Structure 1
Amino acid sequence: MGDLEIFDRIESEVRGYIRSFPVVFDSARGSTLTTADGRDYLDFFAGAGVLNYGHNNPLFTQALIEYLQRDGIIHGLDMATSAKRAFLEAFEARILKPRGLDYKVQFAGPTGANAVEAALKVARQATGRSNVVAFTNGFHGLSLGALAATSNKKYRDAAGASLDNVTRLPYDGYLGAGIDTLDLFEKMLDDTGSGLDLPAAVIVETVQGEGGINVASAPWLQRLRAITEARGILLIVDDIQAGVGRTGGFFSFEDSGIVPDIVTVSKSISASGLPMAIVLMRREVDVWKPGAHTGTFRGNNLAFITARAALDAYWADTTFMDEVARKSELLRAELEKIAAEYSAIEFTVRGRGLMYGIASTKRPELAGNVSAAAFERGLVIETSGARDEVLKFLPALTITDDELLAGLAIVRESLAAVLAV
């Protein structure tokens, strides 16, 4: 499996995924990871949602090679470059205009947490208010401002400081079927005795990835948008994992018909795994003074090159979205079959697009055990949820049907093996 001694001896104890997948990976292409000693693994992890277009997509590799060979600008801070201009032009033409969206684009530092920090800060500046509403099981990053909006106790306990100015409310479905959790939000907003200060913003994931593949319904999102709009509260949609085609449309909120005030995008926006993050905001929200929010690596021109190539190759028409929808139906049908075959375990299947989870409240330990067993059989698949109780399916959107079915076969085999013990 490769020598991990140097990692154990020198790398910080904070490392995580290496513990679940203890091999030395050396190369990758499409949906296949290859170790230093030559073993192939099918990838249902996709870099936690960074690699929506697969590993080392040749379209992006070629664009990068050509750019590097001509000595294209690599580091540009927030100066104007031809690479940034080409990305902005493509993003406006391929994504914003077809969806009737009139957003300004802010290039934040290169991670999703950087984008969330910027979004929260500009929302507070634009409204003059400090409180933010976030939801149970939400994940928005681990820097302090983003962590204040993140729910998981494991991450919050590591903060080492108070996490203020965020009010936590129940997400859609948190209180069970048939209960609209927004009744509580609306009641608290209208009751001067509730203790809820009028928020600057509400931050929400339309599909909670790290929180356990919890899906907000379109009516719930529409009501949330109506509540915030009526009261002058900015709505931030965190599309860092659920966006860029992962749940079907380019943005995860498209199917609901809502238009957020602010959207955070990272992970797969660069298309290639190169670090990149952006904040989209309505023009009236863009109250920044020049230089008020900076970052040394907010101008990753290599990421602009691959991001632009992806927009031109995959988002010029609906072909790519149609393929994701078709594969989504295949994935859901196969997961429903597994749930039916093991009805005594009481599996639930949830998700959208190619972002799915299967979980058992009766046997929450199964997800981690199946993930480990699948890795032994050549499949990389992670877990999510507050107790890691959800087996999380996050394959590349470019995965072939054969690869998808092969991975599902490994999951079936792994589940059978775990239950036989």
Structure 2
Amino acid sequence: MIAVSINEARLYDRFQTMNRIGETERGGLHRLALSDEDKQARDLLVDWFKELHLTVRVDDLGNIYGIKPGSDPSAKPVVIGSHLDSVPKGGKYDGTLGVLAALEIVESLIDEGVSHEQPVIVVNFTNEEGARFPKPMISSGVLSGVYQTEDMFQLADDSGITLGDELKRIGYAGEKDFRLKDVDKFIELHIEQGPVLIEQQAAIGIVEGIQGLSWHEATFIGEADHAGPSPMSTRKDAAVGAFKAMTALHEWVLSLEDETSITFGRIAVEPHVVNVIPGKAVFSIDIRHPEKEILEQRIDKMKQILTETALRFDLDSQLEDLSFMPPAPFSQKLVQDLENVCLSEKVSYHRMYSGAGHDAMYMNRLAETIMLFVPSIDGKSHNEKEESRWEDIHQCVKVMYELVKKQL
């Protein structure tokens, strides 16, 4: 076991205190970005920063920074943290754990009297989830140049309230000059949100990068007709063709036995009447892989399967490309540093890629980046049943503490 000054009880107590804000009846969390609950959580985090005499800064995006200065004011900082916002009726570990782990690491540096040249910054990013304002990882995206500031300020929730207006309302529209820049390293702890680490019986996930993804919308067009008098053999049923295509794609991906995944999240048919053969079927496709070249090959094969299936059922087909996000490989040096910590301390680990997006994906454009995953029980996340074992959490935070000290 790692002999360091991480205070496990302190981390647990802060976690429980923070998650009373927005707690649901079933033990989950409902704390949407820039809501009143998010403001309360932010205020509490700022209070904790001040108790540790950290320098508090808030930028114009609402990102909150707790800064422990180093001996060299000109040195690039090591940044650690995550986000406090949640999805509707989500879990209490997603994001929050990463922020509070970072805070515990900084307080442990203080307790242990660790001297360092580089500043260490704890960060809480605004609107990571994209659940209220419909674009995820807004703040890290702006910091890394992926998104334009004014476009993000104009994003509106379902009530028409903009992100810019809400930042002002809750008092977290800070200064543009306080934005992160010239970052040396970014380290984020997060729950896995999947079952792999539990299945591998690993205490920690060493995240080598984030999978690339490609979104598409497929349309199959046949002929709408009456369900009664139309012979089965002559029908041009768009729904059947679409379902056959989805089945073919699903079976193809399963046969690959690699890290490719495919999902059909939206399915609609027209005219959507019980006794009418569907003349049109539309479905979304989300396909992912951690290597860009292989992902592109998978997309080409996917298009081939769609076309062949449509022709087999005498249907017209169309495919619209919605978005493409290339894989984000993390720093191999940090991956090796983290692996060395695990090996030296005899902590079980599993090297893996993240299937979900995180702020680390965009911070990777600004600095050397790495993520650590805590196992998720039953792989559940983004719901009230989200759970992780505290022995795994403590182990992961301790390893992260060692990793951070090695970077300073």
What's the TM-score, normalizing by structure 1? 0.30
Which protein is richer in helix relative to its size? 1
Larger radius of gyration, structure 1 or 2?
A: 2
TM-score, length of structure 2 as denominator length: 0.30
Task: Flag the structure with higher strand content.
Answer: 2
